[in-house]
């Protein structure tokens, strides 16, 4: 008994191969691109229970502000250390805790009275701290992969805006206006007036 196999149609093979090659090329080129464009999850803004208890136990506003800044700087140092050893997930957790402390401090300071040198001194202390934090956050961002650096940039911008807010609060009630400025014409007129004033000598 002789078996006769049906011939495979060859006219569709080039079309199928072309589609398969195009599909494989698209998948190969798109997968790395998509992975690189996905940012890391946002850092969780958390204040630990131990830190919250310390802040609650602060005996006055000055102690509360000082302690908050110190705790934030501990997290900032941890961010730098974790980034240096390429532990970016750990650095992201520290960023969230730093962020939460500064945000909590701004909210707390808004509850204070608006008058008095004490409040202005507290805002000045915060402004000076954030001024020093800016270059450190910028340095961290420059050595952080793009998917994590996007959140470092967010915190860097937040710290800069918070510093501006602190400056505005510090100078809000203490700005001293200058007197009216003399224009160029008035200055010229003054100089001419002074030149025309001569001391008359007695006739000899």
DSSP 38-98: SPPPPPP----HHHHHHHHH-SSHHHHHHHHHHHHHHHHHHHHHHHHTT-HHHHHHHHHHH
Among 96, 111, 114, residue whose Cα is nearest residue 65 = 111
pLDDT at 36 over 80: no
Residue 85, phi then psi, degrees to nearest 5: -100, 15
Q: Worst-scoring range by mean pLDDT, 28-32, 84-88, 156-160?
A: 28-32
Distance of alpha carbon 180 from alpha carbon 141, whole angstroms: 46
pLDDT digits 0-9 by tens, 89-118: 999 999 999 999 999 999 998 888 766 678
**d(C-alpha 140, C-alpha 117), whole Å:** 35
The arithmetic mean of pLDDT across residues 55-59, rounded, is 93
Q: Tell me how far apart the alpha carbons of residues 187 and 181 are, in angstroms, rounded to a whole number.
A: 10
The answer to whether residues 88 and 145 touch, using CB atoms and an 8 Å cutoff, is yes
> Which pLDDT does position 33 carry in this prediction?
41
User: CA–CA separation, 47 vs 139, rounded Å?
Assistant: 24
Q: Could you tell me what percent of the chain has a pLDDT over 90?
A: 54
pLDDT value for 175:
42
For residues 198 and 93, the model is more confident at: 93
Distances (CA, A) of 44 to 10, 28, 36, 141, 193: 59, 34, 22, 18, 70
At residue 19, the pLDDT reads 63
């Amino acid at each position: 008994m002789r078996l006769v196999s049906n011939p495979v149609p060859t006219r569709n093979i080039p079309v199928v191969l072309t589609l398969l090659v195009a599909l494989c090329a698209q998948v190969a080129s798109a997968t790395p691109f998509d992975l690189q464009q996905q940012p890391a999850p946002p850092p969780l803004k958390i204040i630990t229970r131990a830190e919250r208890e310390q802040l609650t136990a602060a005996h006055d506003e000055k102690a509360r502000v000082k302690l908050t800044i110190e705790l934030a700087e501990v997290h900032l140092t941890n961010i730098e250390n974790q980034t240096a050893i390429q532990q970016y997930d750990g650095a992201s957790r520290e960023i969230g805790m730093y962020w939460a402390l500064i945000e909590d401090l701004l909210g707390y300071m808004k509850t204070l009275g608006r008058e008095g040198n004490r409040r202005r001194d507290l805002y000045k202390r915060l402004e000076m701290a954030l001024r020093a934090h800016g270059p450190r956050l910028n340095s961290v961002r420059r050595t952080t992969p793009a998917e994590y650096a996007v959140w470092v940039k967010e915190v860097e911008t937040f710290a800069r805006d918070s510093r501006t807010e602190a400056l505005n609060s510090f100078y809000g009630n203490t700005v001293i206006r200058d007197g009216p400025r003399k224009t160029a014409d008035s200055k010229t007129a003054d100089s001419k007036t002074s030149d025309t004033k001569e001391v008359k000598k007695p006739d000899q």
